[in-house]
Chain A
């Protein structure tokens, strides 16, 4: 079945650590996105990529980095520069620019 796979489902980060969240899709979608979801704030765009080897910052890119070396994969690294990383992270993809995103099941990141 086609879809988006995010791993791990739960992730714990110590202070000062970088962690990488995985996102893989087999939908042959060109565009991929990373969102952060916090209670009461909705989805906020971190980074997006419309094509391999190219990506753009979203609204809250500080403290995050991404790569897009393959069409299927769009990993997100949460660096130690991100001061408040505890959140639910969602990866999405689309073939038509945004009318219908397919989301993964999310990764819940907690700072310990």
Chain B
């Protein structure tokens, strides 16, 4: 079993839809949770990070962490074609501990 599981998709939605992207994990030591967006043939860019459980909102993006269920989510409201990319979840115990990445979910927003 992988430490971090992420549905690879692809996920296709119409423009304006609410998108839900999810990861599950098995390591209860993870404390910091990140979401990266990666456009084709580019490096990932950090979208959001959260510490421990709870929600964090930034514009159209909301990150949610449920440590009791070992489940994290990224919601995108009013999705745009420019949101079409691969979304990677990542998590770590903190400090200089190793960061474990999910395999990524490919999202396509159709105009």
Contact = CB atoms under 8 A, between A and B. Distances in A.
A106 B98 CA distance: 20
A42 B88 contact: yes
A41 B103 contact: yes
Main secondary structure of the interface of B (DSSP, over half): loop
A78 to B, nearest CB: 18
A103 B95 CA distance: 19
A50 B96 CA distance: 8
A16 interface: no
A97 B94 contact: yes
Contact of B43 (A41, A42, A104): A104
A98 interface: yes
Interface stretch (B44-52, B53-61, B64-72, B75-83): B44-52
A43 interface: yes
Contacts of A98: 32, 92, 94-99
Chain A interface residue bracket vs B: 20 to 34
A27 interface: no
A42 B42 contact: no
A101 B46 contact: yes
A10 to B, nearest CB: 10
A43 B101 contact: yes
A45 B101 CA distance: 10
Contacts of A103: 36, 43-45
A46 interface: no
Interface centre among B34, B46, B92, B96, by most chain A C-beta atoms within 10 angstroms, is B96
The 10 closest A-B pairs by CB, nearest first: A103-B43, A42-B103, A97-B96, A43-B101, A98-B99, A42-B101, A100-B46, A98-B92, A105-B43, A103-B44
Interface of A: 4, 6, 31, 40-43, 45, 50, 58, 90, 92, 97-106, 108
Interface of B: 6, 8, 32, 34, 36, 41-46, 49, 88, 92, 94-99, 101-104
